Amino acid sequence: MTVDGQALLDAFRRHLSSHNLPVTQQRLAVAEAVFLSGAHLSAEEIAARAAARGTAVGTATVYRTLDLLVKSGLAREHDFGDGFKRYEPGSGKQPHEHCICSSCGAVTEFSNDRLERMIALLAEEVEFRPHHHRLEVYGLCRSCQQSNPLARAR
Amino acid sequence: MTVDGQALLDAFRRHLSSHNLPVTQQRLAVAEAVFLSGAHLSAEEIAARAAARGTAVGTATVYRTLDLLVKSGLAREHDFGDGFKRYEPGSGKQPHEHCICSSCGAVTEFSNDRLERMIALLAEEVEFRPHHHRLEVYGLCRSCQQSNPLARAR
DNA sequence: ATGGGTGCAAATCCTTTGCACTCGG
DNA sequence: CCGAGTGCAAAGGATTTGCACCCAT
């Protein structure tokens, strides 16, 4: 497991302890599956990875644990419009945006302070008090541009 | 019906005719419900409004017609994370972004060319070929800020 | 020991689909 | 007339929930 992953897992243990919540095998297995992968996994994929690493976890528990992770700030939840949610390790990373490839589904990330500030400012201009936002760019990732030079992004 | 709404409805009639698709009561009723409201309605609300105006439309037909509207570019589909899709009249308006009130659900819109350009540029910087994007800002709308001066947006 | 956690299956919610019937062109 | 459109109800897929049993603390 990566250093980052390990750090997040420890943070999760601490979060559980400090909230008097039992540290169970299942919770750790789900958290590990999320933290291990830099990817944006579905609940189903997370369950599969936990099982592959030796701890089968019931669907309900997967969802309940993902909730815990999101609420504790250790994971982030996304909806890229596939009809299901995706999760990525959360804390420590600066806020960032996602580019989703319409052809292969790959996710590329970027972040930019000026963009964040501009978004907040524009919201305030219409008398809205911004708290957070989500920005998703759809198009073609690098490799899909190459394999389909003429393809138009959907 | 507003001038805009009427224009869109005519455009829809033309779209149907030119594609050799029957212009049915149901299709017009659904389209009218979407075009009449500047709001961002759910499929259920759209069905209710069509029924209220005298033409009850089956759920399946509502969805099928909304698909038609979206594909023809006359309506836009949104997912604000409520677990269902929302629809708004589409064509004619410039691309715009949405601020969704975490307290009351109200939607405020804004648009800004520089923002659009910056988003495209930032995506290109990570070698992504952008096609379209969606940006949603969550926070408190004007009236919820006033009624809850101390509230923190969720 | 003991209260919360867990798994299973049933339940929900939105949306889609199969099919016999109806209607617009 | 006739093929596409419609409504109903059943199917689907992701997520949630009820409940008896199990395990961290």
The enclosing H or E element of A89 equals strand A86-89
Residues contacting A23, CB < 8 A, separation 6+? A13, A16, A17
- A&B contacts, CB < 8 Å: 122
Interval A114-140: pLDDT, tens: 999 999 999 999 999 999 999 999 999
B5-89 and B97-152 agree in CATH topology:
no
| pLDDT band, residue A88 (cuts 50/70/90) | very high
- CA of A133, C1' of D14: distance in angstroms: 24
Both tokens assigned to B16: 């149907």
Note whether A137 and B133 are within 8 A (CB).
yes
- CA–CA distance, A74 with A63 (Å, rounded to integer): 15
In the predicted model, what is the mean pLDDT of chain A?
92
Q: What is the pLDDT of residue A90?
A: 82
pLDDT band at B79 (very low <50, low <70, confident <90, very high): very high
For range B13-41, the mean pLDDT:
95
How far is A76 from chain B, CA to nearest CA, in Å? 14
| Per-residue pLDDT tens digits for A14-53 | 999 999 999 999 999 999 999 998 789 999 999 999 999 9
Q: Is the CB of B59 under 7 A from strand C?
A: yes
A5-89: what fold?
Arc Repressor Mutant, subunit A (1.10.10)
pLDDT of residue B15: 96
Nearest to A98 by CA among B134, B118, B121, B99: B134
Q: Which residue is nearest to nucleotide D15 (CA to C1')?
A: A63
On the question of pLDDT at A150 being above 60, the answer is no
Distance, CA of A43 to C1' of C6, in Å: 17
Classify residue A88 as exposed, middle or buried by CB count within 10 Å of its CB (0-12, 13-18, 19+). Answer: buried
- The mean of the pLDDT values for chain B is 92
The owner of tokens 């009850």 is B56
A109–B122 C-beta distance less than 8 A: no
Would the pLDDT of B63 be above 80? yes
Q: Which residues pair with A140 in a beta bridge?
A: B129
Domain ranges of chain A: 5-89, 97-152
pLDDT at A149 over 90: no
Identify whether the C-beta of residue B12 lies closer than 8 Å to the C-beta of residue B74: yes
pLDDT band at B154 (very low <50, low <70, confident <90, very high): low
Interface contact B139-A145, CB threshold 8 A: no
Q: How buried is A48 (Cβ within 10 angstroms: 0-12 exposed, 13-18 middle, 19+ buried)?
A: middle
The CATH architecture one would assign to domain B97-152 is: 2-Layer Sandwich (3.30)
CA of A53, closest CA in chain B: separation in Å? 32
